[in-house]
Structure formats: C-alpha cells, structure tokens
C-alpha cells in the first residue's frame, strides 16, 4: 500500500497529547505511506502511528480527534480539512484490503445454505418419501389401499361381491399364496382396468375377465402370482407419495392424512398404466413354491406357446401335475362372482 500521490508531501499541524492528563502540544504531522509521523515543530520525530490501527473517535466532527489504537490515552487533534480527508481516504483504502473474517463467514454461511437448499430440493423429497413409507404402520397402508380402491370404483363401477364367489376367491388366495409371507387380499372389478394391479396394503385388484374367460383356476393363479411379483418388486405406497409430492408426503407423515385428490389421481393413473413385465425365472420360482403348473397360464397368454415356451418347458410340475386348486363347485361360484 502506498500513499496517494497528491498526499505524498502533505503536512499539517495539530495538537498532540501523549498521555491522558498531559498538556496538549502543537506538533507537525506528516502523512507517510502507511503511517502518520508526528514531530515537533522543529521536525524532531515524536512518534509514528500506523494508519491501519488509527481510530477516529469523533466521526463527522471538527476538529477531528484520533487515537493510535482503541482505548489509548494518546490522542491527536487535527483541524486541517485536507489532512483529515487524506487520512480518511487512506484508512478506507487500507480497510478494503484487510481481511474481513465476519464478511467471509457470511459468504461461507450463504454458500453453505445455498448448497444445503440445493441438495434438499433434490434429496429431501425422496428421503422424506422413504422415511414416511418406513414409518407408516401396515394398518395405515391397508387403509390407504382401500381408499384408492374406493376412488377407483368411481371410475370402474362397483366391485364384484357375490357371496359364494367371494368365499371361493378367498379360498383360492389361500391356496395360491400358500408359500408367501402374507396372503394378499383380492378384489374383482367389472371393467376399465388391466388384467391385474396392486395397491398399498397387499391388495391385488383383478379384472373380471381373468376370472370369467378361462376354464381353469390355474390360469387365474398365474395372473395372481405375476401381480404378486410386481407388488413385491415395487412399493405401491412409495409410488403414491412420489406422485403426490413433497407437501402431501409431509402431511401424511405429520397428520396421518392424505387428500382424496391425491388418492383419486393415483387411482386414475393405475387404471391406465401398462403392467411391467415379469421375468420368467421369477414367475417359475413362484409356481414352484406354490406347487402349481405354469403351463395353463403360459397357453392362456399365447395359445401357440411360441412366446411362452420357457414357462411351458420349465414347468415345475411338468411330470407331476398339481391337484385341482379349487373344487368344481367353488370354481363355478368364483366365475359367477360378478353376477349380483
């Protein structure tokens, strides 16, 4: 740092006091590169003050009163306005070039906040959804699944509830899912949906066509096992919250409630979604665990068998066909589940 050229020869007089109770004396003031040089009128140096440390104790007043450091008893009174202006200008320049820890902390804090906010915008929604799904009790998930089904019925018409058919459907579920940790609840709707879909709370919804259009419950078993794999591989509650958004998720987490609008939107989405493909290996494993033949389902999907050859050739019960899944009377009752 060097003094401004116009101030290099600047001199002025002032009143200097070396201690608090001493007599003030007139002195000669010279402005150096980084200091004030205080001398006697005969130019004998008395002291040097660093401009970086000098403090003006009466800003805006005249004459200006300076001290060499904060709290010092030593002082210098200057009435010359050119000298005052020069000192203030150099002190301002020095101040701009010195470190500002507080300002740096502010910049760092603002930068950190911006980074955290940016991460939050991308990370928080998924994290909040996962945490909410993890914390929701199973009973609440079943309630949500039932609520989505209620909204779905507004679009498809009422569910099929013929009494004997319902009993047969429950019996078939127990048989098909004999090897799974839980037995999903099954509901049959009349129209307007894919062959099958799943909802939160282990709820599988079937189109009446997969019940009525085939001659064997083994075909229906294939649709059920396929949808069960989709249910296990996905997370229907998480899919709902990802579609509903951050605030709906936060509301569900804090109040246990989610609006009918989001439930209706999810119901509509599910009715138009194309079911994901299920790997043959995973499906054959399910057929094997349930001890059900995969061939009836394979031929139902493709009567020629060309596109489902692996399900036919790797049928786990190919050499030992399974016993009927339902008695004939129950199968007939199940096929008539939508007659009421």
Q: Is the distance from CB of 195 to CB of 223 less than 8 angstroms?
A: yes
Helices (H), 40-137: 81-97, 101-135
Out of 2.10.10.90, 1.10.10.10, 2.30.29.30, 2.40.50.100, the CATH code matching 5-97 is 2.30.29.30
Predicted confidence (pLDDT) per residue in 27-55, tens digit: 888 887 677 888 888 877 777 887 778 88
Residue listed under structure tokens 């760092």: 108
Q: What is the pTM of this model?
A: 0.64
Annotate 296-318 with b (16+ C-beta within 10 A) or e (fewer).
bbbbbeeeeeeebeebbebbbbe
pLDDT of residue 115: 40
Does 112 or 206 have the greater pLDDT score? 206
* Average pLDDT of span 76-99: 79
Instruction: Give CA angle at 162 (156, 167), nearest 5°.
Output: 115
Residues 6+ apart with CB under 8 A from 86: 3, 4, 7, 10, 31
* Average pLDDT of span 123-146: 84
Find, among 251, 260, 233, the residue nearest to 128 by Cα: 251
Indicate the domain borders of the chain. 5-97, 100-135, 137-335
- The chain-wide mean pLDDT, for the chain, equals 85
Cβ burial of 97 (10 Å; 0-12, 13-18, 19+) is exposed
* Average pLDDT of span 283-307: 95
- For residue 144, give the H/E element and its range: helix 138-156
Other Cβ atoms less than 10 A from the Cβ of 84: the count is 18
Omega before 63 cis (within 30°)? yes
Asked if the model's pLDDT at residue 98 lies above 80, the reply is: no
pLDDT of residue 107: 55
* Average pLDDT of span 308-322: 88
Asked if the model's pLDDT at residue 105 lies above 70, the reply is: no
Q: For residues 10 and 19, give the distance between their C-alpha atoms in angstroms, rounded to a whole number.
A: 26
* Average pLDDT of span 70-99: 79
Share of residues in the chain with pLDDT > 90 (%): 50
Q: For residues 146 and 110, give the distance between their C-alpha atoms in angstroms, rounded to a whole number.
A: 46
Q: For residues 309 and 321, give the distance between their C-alpha atoms in angstroms, rounded to a whole number.
A: 18
Asked if the model's pLDDT at residue 293 lies above 90, the reply is: yes
Strands (E), the chain: 11-17, 25-31, 35-39, 45-50, 55-56, 64-67, 75-78, 185-189, 196-199, 203-207
Q: Is the distance from CB of 161 to CB of 333 less than 8 angstroms?
A: no
Structure tokens at 286: 């399910």
pLDDT of residue 166: 94
């Amino acid at each position: 740092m060097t003094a401004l050229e116009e101030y290099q020869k600047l001199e002025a007089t002032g009143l200097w006091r070396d201690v608090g109770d001493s007599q003030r004396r007139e002195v000669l003031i010279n402005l150096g590169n980084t200091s004030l040089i205080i001398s006697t009128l005969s130019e004998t140096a008395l002291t040097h003050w660093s401009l970086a440390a000098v403090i003006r104790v009466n800003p805006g007043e005249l004459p200006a009163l300076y001290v060499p450091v904060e709290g010092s008893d030593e002082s210098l009174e200057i009435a010359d306005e050119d000298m005052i202006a020069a000192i203030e200008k150099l002190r301002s320049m020095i101040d701009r070039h010195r470190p500002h820890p507080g300002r740096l902390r502010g910049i760092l804090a603002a930068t950190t906040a911006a980074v955290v906010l940016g991460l939050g915008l991308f990370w928080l929604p998924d994290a909040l959804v996962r945490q909410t799904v993890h914390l929701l009790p199973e009973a609440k998930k079943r309630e949500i699944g039932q609520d989505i089904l209620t909204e779905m019925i507004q679009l498809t018409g009422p569910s099929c509830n013929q009494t004997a058919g319902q009993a047969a459907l429950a019996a078939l579920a127990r048989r098909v899912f004999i090897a799974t940790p839980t037995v999903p609840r099954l509901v049959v709707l009349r129209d307007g949906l894919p062959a099958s879909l799943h909802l939160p709370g282990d709820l599988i919804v079937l189109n009446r066509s997969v019940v009525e259009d085939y001659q064997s419950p083994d075909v229906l078993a294939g649709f059920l096992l396929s949808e069960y794999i989709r249910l296990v591989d996905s997370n229907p509650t998480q899919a709902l919250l990802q579609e509903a958004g951050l605030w709906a998720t936060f509301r569900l987490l804090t109040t246990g409630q989610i609006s009918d609008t989001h439930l209706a939107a999810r119901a509509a989405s599910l009715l138009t979604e194309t079911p994901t493909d299920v790997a043959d290996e995973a499906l054959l494993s399910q057929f094997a665990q349930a001890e059900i033949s995969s061939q009836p389902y394979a031929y139902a999907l493709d009567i020629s068998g060309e596109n489902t050859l692996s399900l036919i050739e790797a049928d786990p019960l190919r050499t030992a066909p399974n016993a009927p899944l339902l008695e004939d009377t129950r199968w007939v009752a199940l096929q008539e589940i939508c007659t009421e």
